[in-house]
Structure 1
Amino acid sequence: MNAFVTIHDAVFSQVERAGRWLLPLAARLVFASTLLLYFWNSGLTKLGDGLLGLFSPSIGAYSQIFPKQLEAAGYDVSQFGLLQKLVVLAGTYAEFILPLLIVLGLATRLAALGMIGFVVVQSLTDVIGHGATDAKTLGAMFDRFPDAVILDQRLFWLFLLAYLVVRGGGALSVDALLRRRVAAVPS
């Protein structure tokens, strides 16, 4: 029995060591392959026309972020104040910048933490603002059906992002490159 335990520990200590650099990279690749374009395409729907669209959000941006308020304003975005415009712009920029940082592995922990906040706000907006409370969209925990958009799918997103908050971008990231450069500079 001791031989089995010794072999087991030897094998899985190597697996664990490889996982320390492989899993953060894999997490970033999974994020890139499943969520990067999702968030970028969502961000594109919020931009206004032309180059100045970066500073002038589309009506779609307001309808996604402030659906009930936009309806109450008769779909007239000129009735929105500076605060709402800043929220819309911040959300739009976040959909481009935070995923890119995660994929590059630059400020990975902060970017993943920001994305967690983004996904939580997105989910609350879907439920409260858009009324996504039907069982198929909202879902339920421990209901044996893994296909709900909000509670099932986004729980996986949050787990992936939480992993990156805890572990960082890994050895193959811009964070690691910068860390090595700083360590190489004599103090």
Structure 2
Amino acid sequence: MVNLIQSTSNVYIAVFGQLETMLQNWFPGLAARLIFSSVLLGFFWQSALTKIGNSLFSPSVGAYAQIFPKALEAAEYDADQLSSLHTVVVFAATYAEFILPALILVGLATRLASIGMAVMIVIMSIVDICGHNVDAKTIGQLFDRVQDGVILDQRLLWMFPLIYLVVKGPGLISLDQVFASIFGSSKSETTAAN
């Protein structure tokens, strides 16, 4: 019996050790970027488009309603009554929704872009809960048997590829790696820890 367990363990280690060796430097980072992009790039770009008014330099009233719902309501839905700080935040959020997912997709400044997206998701969740007063079902609950809570369940899953990219980097198939090889960085952003 001990020999059977040892043999099974050796086969397991050999198979998965070889698989890890073959994939560890390129596949996980690429997969994290493609999964994030396939699920959320279109979502964030569409969200950014709803925030644009007459031009890229003119936010819509809907942008203020999405980001500052209570402040806009207090201003009787007149965005001109809000401060310039509100406008700066609206512009920053709008452009970030265009730029950060694209950077993650191509693997450029991946760690910084992933941190930025993670911060945006946290802030978006707080605004949804506190500003838009979503109900408990929409918020969800961790460690329950129901997996359809839009805030906790879905956004926790959104965060995983971003956390991976921050910790491990975008992998060898990325613009970060291309620039690291061109500029001869001794420790590139894509270096994978063993």
TM range (shorter): over 0.9
Structure 1 pair 68/184, CA: closer, same or farther in 2 (3 Å)? Answer: closer
In the alignment, residue 119 of structure 2 is paired with which amino acid?
G
Structure 2 unmatched runs, 5+? 187-194
State the distance in 2 between where 1:141 and 1:99 align.
26
Name the structure 2 match of 1:15: 19
Task: Note the C-alpha offset of 1:180.
Answer: 1.4
Equivalent position amino acid for 1:119 in 2 = I
Alignment match, 1:151? 152
- Secondary structure (helix, strand or coil) at the match of 2:53 reads coil
1:103-153 CA-partner distances (Å, limit 9, x unpaired) = 000011110011000000000000000001x22200001111001100000
1:86 deviates by 0.2
In the aligned structure 1, how far is the partner of 2:167 from the partner of 2:107? 13
Is residue 119 of structure 1 aligned with residue 121 of structure 2?
Answer: yes
Return the letter of the residue paired with 1:148.
G
User: How many angstroms does 1:17 deviate by?
Assistant: 1.9
| Identical amino acids, percent of aligned pairs | 54
Q: CA RMSD in A?
A: 1.4
Query: In structure 2, what residue type is equivalent to 1:44?
Result: L
Higher helix share: 1
- Matched residues, number: 181
Query: Where do 4+ consecutive residues of structure 1 move more than 4 Å?
Result: none
- Using the TM superposition, give the Cα deviation of residue 18 of structure 1 relative to its aligned residue in structure 2, in angstroms: 3.0
| Ranges in structure 1 where 5+ consecutive residues have no aligned partner | none
CA distance in 1, matches of 2:141, 2:171: 33
* Counterpart secondary structure, 2:71: helix
Deviation at 1:19, TM superposition (A): 3.2
How far is the alpha carbon of 1:3 from its aligned partner?
Answer: 3.5
Aligned residue number for residue 140 of structure 1: 141
Partner of 1:92: 94
Q: Secondary structure of 2:58's match?
A: coil
Q: Structure 1 residues 120-129 or 5-14, which shifts more?
A: 5-14
Mapping 1:29-178, distance limit 5 Å = 29-49=34-54, 53-132=55-134, 134-178=135-179
Render the CA deviation track for 1:67-99: whole Å, top value 9, x for unaligned.
001011010111011111000000001000000
Q: 1:105 to 1:184 in 2, by over 3 A?
A: closer
TM-score (normalised: structure 2)? 0.89
The alpha-carbon deviation at position 156 of structure 1 amounts to 0.2
